[in-house]
Amino acid sequence: MSWNLMGHVWAVDLLGEHIRSGGVRHAYLFTGPAGVGKRTLALNFARALTCKNPPSPGDFCGECRPCKMIDQQQFPDLVILEADTIGGELKVDSVRELLHTMALTPYEADRRIALLLRFQEANENAQNALLKTLEEAPGKSVLLVTADTPENLLPTIVSRCELLRLRPLAVDALADGLVERLSIPRTDALRLARISSGRPGIALDLHTDTNLNTNRQQWMDHLFSLLSEDLRQRFDFVEKQVKLKNSSKEERDLLRMRLREGFIFWQSLWRDVLLRSSGLGDELANVDYREKIDMLAGSVSAAEAGDQINRIETAAYRLGSANLQLLVEALVMGFPAVK
């Protein structure tokens, strides 16, 4: 039983056993970095909880009415709540409305299920509202919560949930899954696995980009140019890349998508620099930039490379809520000067 997931077999086995044994908890917390599979695992758990024709206990068929309606996000006993944008704020009124719905009798299933995505984006009042529900625990409901890390939630929320920490997959394991699912050459799968840092969701998103190679080359060239440029030139780069004046919402959303992909490429390069600075391995994600990566690794420490990875991760998370021009300016101004 794999629930059609790449990796996280231990989590599927655990959740399946909870269903088989009748020991389903009232609340589950799935944590891990973006793209690691938290949302997919939680939705598949919801399918397994509601499936009418499971091929085996704790599994789901994917063909019955609940399975298909969950695919379409139209199942009446599943409520999904998230902030309007990634990195936005989830407010207390939205949580209270959801919790009121959860207290009602289920329509079709044995229980109501709520999926609260990226709950680290919930403000303090919203988190306290969820905590009150966890303390009172309505009988016919299951709460599925996702977050980047338990440390960004109230400790009392974490303590009242079954915690499942999801981690990136090993490169070879993710590559195997990509080959099986996408029927692509293993060399392509390995590159996607390395660029995505073992995160299946990001690897799949990158695969759908028909201009992947061109976009990746552009972002890599941008980064190496920025490292040798002065502050004025870096400001000029941001002005060219982040054009917001008189832009529509659709244009701003497209810009966020483009920046998010670019940040993934930059992270993969700094990861390569970190590996080379640490004297670890030859399995680079960007093997075609090996010479430049080695030169950069000779100029910055492993700690500095790790710091850049974290800075880019933070910037990517804030793309949904921050002033984009200021966000990108702060990021590129913090790159080291390398001649």
Nearest Cα neighbor of 168 from 35, 272, 276, 270 is 35
The residue among 332, 274, 280 whose CA lies nearest residue 307 is 274
- Ordered by where they begin, the domains of the chain are 9-165 (3.40.50.300), 209-333 (no CATH)
Would you say 274 and 306 are in contact if contact means Cβ atoms under 8 Å apart?
yes
Q: What is the pLDDT of residue 100?
A: 86
C-alpha to C-alpha distance for 218 and 234, rounded to whole angstroms: 16
Extract the tokens encoding 337. Answer: 């000067």
Going residue by residue through the chain, which has 339 residues, state the pLDDT in tens, using 9 for 90 and above: 579 899 999 999 999 999 999 999 999 999 999 899 999 999 999 999 999 999 999 999 999 999 999 999 999 999 999 988 777 788 999 999 988 888 888 999 999 999 999 999 899 999 999 998 888 766 789 999 999 999 999 999 999 999 999 999 999 999 999 999 999 999 999 989 999 989 999 999 889 888 888 899 999 999 999 999 999 999 999 999 887 776 787 888 888 889 989 999 999 999 999 999 998 766 888 988 999 999 999 999 999 999 999 999 999 888 877 789 999 999 999 999 987
Residue 281: predicted pLDDT: 66
Say if residue 21 is exposed, middle or buried (CB neighbours under 10 Å; 0-12, 13-18, 19+).
exposed
Q: How many residues does the chain have?
A: 339
pLDDT of residue 1: 59
Burial of 339 by CB count in 10 Å (0-12 exposed, 13-18 middle, 19+ buried)? exposed
Instruction: Compute the C-alpha angle 236/329/87, nearest 5°.
Output: 140
- Contacts within 8 Å (CB) and 24+ apart, 287-294: 289/220, 292/224, 293/269
> What pLDDT sits at residue 137?
63
Q: What is the DSSP string of 33-66?
A: STTSSHHHHHHHHHHHHH-SS-SSTT---S-SHH
With residue 80 as reference, give the H or E element that holds it: strand 78-81
Bridge pairing between strands 112-116 and 141-147: parallel
